[in-house]
Amino acid sequence: MASKSRQLHIVFLPQLAHGILIPTVDMARLCARHGVKVTIATTPLNAHLFAKTIQRDRESGFEISTYIIKFPSAEVGLPEGCENASSLTSQEMQTKFLKAANLFQQPLEQLLAELRPDCLVAGMMFTWATDVASKFGIPRLVFHGTSCFSISILDSVIRHAPYKKIATDFEFFDVPGLPDQIKMTKMQLPDFIKEEEGSERRKMLNEALESERTSFGVIVNSFYELEPAYREHYSKVMGKKAWQVGPVSLCNKDSEDKAERGNVASIDRHECLRWLASKKPNSVLYICFGSLSRFSAAQLNEMAKGLEASGQNFIWVVRKVNDEDKEEWLPEGFEERMEGKGLIIRGWAPQVLILDHDAVGGFMTHCGWNSTLESITAGVPMVTWPLQAEQFFNEKLIVDVLKIGVCTGAKEWSRWADDTKIIVTSEDIERAVTQLMVGEEGEKMRNRTRELKDMARRVVEEGGSSYSDLNALLDELRLNCLPK
Kindly indicate the confidence band of residue 1, based on its pLDDT and cuts at 50, 70 and 90: very low
Average model confidence (pLDDT) for the chain?
89
Measured CA to CA, the distance from residue 92 to residue 139 in angstroms comes to: 34
Is the pLDDT at 419 greater than 60? The verdict is no
pLDDT band at 320 (very low <50, low <70, confident <90, very high): low
Check residues 330 and 483 and name the one with the higher pLDDT. 330
Instruction: Looking at mean pLDDT, say which of 257-266, 320-329, 430-439 comes out highest.
Output: 430-439
Mean per-residue pLDDT for 102-114? Answer: 94
pLDDT on residue 418: 59
**pLDDT of 77 over the 70 cut:** yes
Ordered by start, the domain boundaries in the chain are 9-250+459-479, 263-457
Total-model pTM: 0.91
Q: What percent of the chain has pLDDT over 90?
A: 63
Report the residue count for the chain. Answer: 484
pLDDT band at 323 (very low <50, low <70, confident <90, very high): very low
Per mean pLDDT, which range of 258-262, 312-316, 365-369, 400-404 is the poorest?
A: 258-262
Q: What is the mean pLDDT of residues 348-376?
A: 94
Q: What is the CATH number assigned to the segment(s) 263-457?
A: 3.40.50.2000
pLDDT of residue 259: 57
pLDDT band at 348 (very low <50, low <70, confident <90, very high): confident
Domains 9-250+459-479 and 263-457 share a fold: yes
Please calculate the CA angle 195-218-91 and round it to the nearest 5 degrees: 30
Lowest mean pLDDT among 198-207, 396-405, 439-448: 198-207
State the average pLDDT over residues 306-318.
95
User: What is the distance, to the nearest Å, from the Cα of residue 28 to the centroid of all Cα atoms in its chain?
Assistant: 16
The answer, yes or no, to whether residue 75 has pLDDT greater than 70, is yes
What local confidence, expressed as pLDDT, does residue 265 receive?
57
pLDDT digits (tens, 9 = 90+) for 222-278: 999 999 999 999 888 888 889 999 899 998 876 666 655 555 555 777 888 899 999
Mean pLDDT of 432-446: 95
Which CATH code of 3.30.830.10, 3.30.470.20, 3.40.50.150, 3.40.50.2000 fits the domain covering 9-250+459-479? 3.40.50.2000
Alpha carbon 113 to its chain centroid, in Å, reads: 31
Which of 116 and 85 is assigned the larger pLDDT?
Answer: 116
3-state secondary structure 74-141: HHHCCCCCCCCHHHCCCHHHHHHHHHHHHCCHHHHHHHHHHHCCCEEEEECCCCCHHHHHHHCCCCEE
Residue 343 has a pLDDT of 92
